[in-house]
Amino acid sequence: MNYIIKTEGLMCGHCDASVETALLNVAGVTDAEANHETQTVTVTCSDEVVPEQLSAAVQSAGEKFRALSVEEA
């Protein structure tokens, strides 16, 4: 399953890496590609992963990061 997360707060490559790491720590997530220029993250994961888990992971990466929406890609 693939998701696109619209985010807020990503400013640089370090921000991208922080969010990617947090998402990859969610059981079932196999890939995460953040892009601060478009404020989106593309996630590949198993069917067991729910959008709320992805949103929580983005926000846990740092207090300035927020997931505005999580949509199936």
Q: Provide the residue ranges of all domains of the chain, joining segments of one domain with +.
A: 2-41+50-72
pTM of the model: 0.96
22-35 pLDDT, tens digit each: 999 999 999 999 99
Model pLDDT, residue 44: 98
DSSP H or E segment with residue 56: helix 51-60
Q: pLDDT confidence of 2, banded at 50, 70, 90?
A: very high
Give the pLDDT mean for 3-27. Answer: 98
Topology of domain 2-41+50-72, per CATH?
Answer: Alpha-Beta Plaits (3.30.70)
Give the pLDDT mean for 22-51. Answer: 98
Which positions ≥6 away from 44 have C-beta within 8 Å? Answer: 1, 2, 29, 30, 31, 32
